[in-house]
Amino acid sequence: MAHNYDALILGAGAAGLMCAIEAGKRRRRVAVLERAARAGKKILISGGGRCNFTNLHCQPENFISANPHFAKSALARYTPSDFIALVENHSIPYHEKTLGQLFCDRSARDITDMLESECRAAKVDVFLNTTIQEVRHGTEFTVHAAETEFLAPVLLVATGGLTIPKMGATDFGYQIARKFGIKIRETRAALTPLLLESPDRTTYCDLAGVSTEVIASTDHHAFREAMLITHQGLSGPAILQISSYWNKGEPLYIDLAPDREVFASLRSSSTRNIAACRVAIQLALPNRFATRWLDNHLPQRWTNEDLSRLEQKLHQWTIIPAGTEGFDKAEVTLGGVDTDELSSKTMESHKVRGLFFIGEVVDVTGHLGGFNFQWAWASGAAAGRAL
């Protein structure tokens, strides 16, 4: 059986659905082909089930790409306000959690219901349980899926990245890019917990669950948010954010007591001993972590110089992580289809007319906090409006 459309979209995730809605509203006949049994599976698990669907303070600086200018055009033409207007049209209750991050009050299901209802209104056909066997390109694109053949002059690849393979993530989008001679930037897991090397792991990981506000930094980037000790290393927003910039083998610096001079009282006191030091550090850090960290960094003497060095170590705890927890635990994929290959206005390939890439499959990666969905909405809308 053959179906003819104006555009075929591979993947019913955030980018694919937004693209379909925008194209459908412009009366294009659109089919979305999705391998899973339902649309927007990743949206449903996002934001702890409440979907952090955008960020009020979205700026191009919140995105990582080999070309930091690429995302600007799409982000400027579909802004957080545009998505918020859609959410409000559907009377979905939401709130700002922190740092401009907007979450559903009830559940992420509100967002998938909204997108599905917009697809119906725009007369978009969504084909679920549709595993694609082959993509061919002649005068049109032909997509083979089981007994069915889909034909259209336009093909949009919205198959996402490599995160959470057990939910079905594959490199399908990159395979299509390669098939058409389109360059890929090396991919790796981002927004992912870090693993500690064994001495640090033995020392700290029995404190799993302890959390504290830190500034986590590499030589060029820093994030001030919570850090969480896990059974194998470190996580929490500050660590997830910095993981996107950290490269294996490099040190990571953690300011455990931002803006505080923890040992100042000791320097001006004649009572200088472990007990006084513990009291001071416990005012800045959770007790168990404070004690453990101090026991592992005790000064040899209690001179002002030693105390200054201790203060410095506290503000620049230096670790060399063993690695990351990888794609199994990552929120997003760094790298992907090289932006040099695509129009920043429409997401269309320069080489292959009618072939578009949108969403996470492209080498544009957001910070934690709703930015990755904003990129999916914005790139999807840019392509959908160009059809």
CB of 376 or CB of 387, closer to ligand FAD: 376
Residue 359 CB, nearest approach to ligand FAD (Å) = 2
The long-range contacts involving 267-271, CB below 8 angstroms and separated by at least 24 positions, are 267/304, 267/307, 267/308
The backbone torsions φ and ψ at residue 206, rounded to the nearest 5 degrees and listed phi first, read -70, -5
Kindly give the pairing relationship between strand 355-357 and strand 194-195: unpaired
Q: How many CB atoms lie within 10 A of CB 42?
A: 24
Residue 364 CB, nearest approach to ligand FAD (Å) = 10
CB of 229 or CB of 362, closer to ligand FAD: 362
In the numeric block, the tokens 């998505």 are attached to: 83
CB of 17 or CB of 256, closer to ligand FAD: 17
Residue 361 CB, nearest approach to ligand FAD (Å) = 6
Among 27, 19, 10, which residue's Cα sits nearest to residue 127?
10
Among 180, 185, 187, 186, which residue's Cα sits nearest to residue 350?
180
Q: Which residues bind ligand FAD (CB under 6 A)?
A: 10-16, 33-36, 41-42, 45-47, 51-52, 132, 158-160, 163-164, 168, 170, 172, 331-332, 359-360, 370-373, 376
Residues in contact with 350: Cβ distance below 8 Å, sequence separation at least 6, in sequence order: 341, 342, 343
CB of 137 or CB of 267, closer to ligand FAD: 137
Residue 293 CB, nearest approach to ligand FAD (Å) = 30
Q: Are 43 and 83 in contact (CB under 8 A)?
A: no
Residue 292, classed as helix, strand or coil, is helix
Residue nearest to ligand FAD (CB): 13
CB of 150 or CB of 293, closer to ligand FAD: 150
CB of 93 or CB of 168, closer to ligand FAD: 168
The backbone torsions φ and ψ at residue 320, rounded to the nearest 5 degrees and listed phi first, read -115, 100
Residue 54 CB, nearest approach to ligand FAD (Å) = 7
Residue 167 CB, nearest approach to ligand FAD (Å) = 7
